[in-house]
């Protein structure tokens, strides 16, 4: 009996050893892939598909937001720079326009005679051509052209010659041709300061002896000293 019992124990132990020694796939349920199961058993894998997708979505949104912010920043900066340039150009243009306006006003003010009482010096010394020219020049830029023959009013071309020569005791009528009729015609080579320069039927002035004339030119202008002649004038001496 003792031997039979030992044999039974041996058989049971051998059977258990056989079961223990069987490969792992022998104990798997039917239809299970032994290779896949072995790999799964030997390694640990984490299914991160859902979290990874979520992480990528968040990162993409962050990048888009960052790019959008950067773009908006650039656009804002560009707009500010362009606006500053426009403002600077507009300011420069306005400053230039103001400078031109100021200069024009300064010229206009300098060229406009004073509206106050006019005071003129009497002729200096006796009659001479140079004295006539010097006396007439004080009206330059001061007395406007008009129908008058008085420096406190206006001077027509014949009004200027009538008034100036009158201050030296020489009486002249009004009218270009009437004044020329009282003088003696001479050539330009003979003409000296104080002679008459006549454009028959049109205009008259006082020759300066150097190729110019002191005269009262036209409406909207003042007595002036032109330093050159024009057309075909005729010269007369009183």
Map residue 27 onto helix, strand or coil: helix
Q: How far is CA 13 from the centre of its chain?
A: 111
CATH of the domain at 214: 3.90.1720.10
Instruction: Give first-to-last CA distance, the chain, whole Å.
Output: 186
Contacts of 187 (CB under 8 A, 6+ apart): 235
Whole-angstrom Cα distance, residue 68 to residue 203? Answer: 81
For residue 24, is pLDDT > 50? Answer: no
Please indicate, yes or no, if residue 197 is contained in any of the structural domains: yes
- Residue 51, CA atoms < 13 Å, CB-side half-sphere: 3
Please indicate, yes or no, if residue 225 is contained in any of the structural domains: yes
The number of domains in the chain is 1
pLDDT value of residue 136: 98
Provide the residue count of the chain. Answer: 238
Complete DSSP assignment for 60-74 = HHHHHHHHHHHHHHH
Please indicate, yes or no, if residue 216 is contained in any of the structural domains: yes
Please indicate, yes or no, if residue 208 is contained in any of the structural domains: yes
For residue 96, is pLDDT > 90? Answer: no
pLDDT digit string, tens, across residues 154-187:
999 999 999 999 999 999 999 999 999 999 999 9
Structural domain boundaries, residue 208: 129-237
The pTM score is 0.53
pLDDT value of residue 186: 98
Map residue 85 onto helix, strand or coil: helix
pLDDT digit string, tens, across residues 73-82:
655 567 788 8
Please indicate, yes or no, if residue 183 is contained in any of the structural domains: yes
Please indicate, yes or no, if residue 94 is contained in any of the structural domains: no
Map residue 208 onto helix, strand or coil: coil
Please indicate, yes or no, if residue 157 is contained in any of the structural domains: yes
pLDDT value of residue 132: 98
Is there a contact between 126 and 194 (Cβ–Cβ < 8 Å)?
no
DSSP E strand boundaries for 62-168: 149-150, 154-155
pLDDT value of residue 146: 98
Please indicate, yes or no, if residue 222 is contained in any of the structural domains: yes
pLDDT value of residue 27: 44
């Amino acid at each position: 009996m003792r031997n039979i019992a030992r044999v039974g124990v041996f058989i049971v132990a051998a059977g258990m050893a056989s079961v223990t020694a069987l490969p792992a796939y022998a104990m798997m349920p039917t239809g299970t892939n032994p290779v896949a199961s072995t790999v799964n058993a030997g390694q640990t894998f984490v299914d991160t598909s859902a979290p990874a997708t979520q992480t990528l979505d968040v990162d993409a949104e962050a990048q888009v937001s960052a790019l959008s912010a950067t773009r908006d920043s650039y656009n804002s900066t560009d707009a500010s720079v362009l606006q500053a340039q426009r403002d600077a150009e507009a300011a420069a243009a306005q400053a230039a326009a103001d400078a031109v306006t100021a200069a024009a006003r300064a010229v206009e003010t300098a060229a406009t005679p004073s509206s106050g009482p006019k005071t003129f010096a009497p002729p200096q010394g006796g009659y001479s051509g140079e004295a006539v020219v010097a006396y007439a020049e004080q009206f330059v830029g001061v007395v406007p052209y008009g129908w008058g023959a008085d420096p406190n009013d206006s001077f027509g071309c014949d009004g200027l010659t009538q008034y100036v020569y009158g201050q030296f005791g020489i009486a002249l009528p009004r009218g270009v041709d009437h004044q020329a009729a009282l003088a003696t015609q001479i050539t330009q080579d003979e003409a000296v300061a104080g002679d008459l320069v006549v454009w028959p039927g049109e205009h008259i002035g006082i020759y300066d002896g150097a190729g110019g004339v002191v005269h009262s030119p036209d409406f909207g202008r003042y007595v002036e000293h032109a330093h050159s002649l024009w057309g075909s004038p005729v010269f007369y001496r009183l």
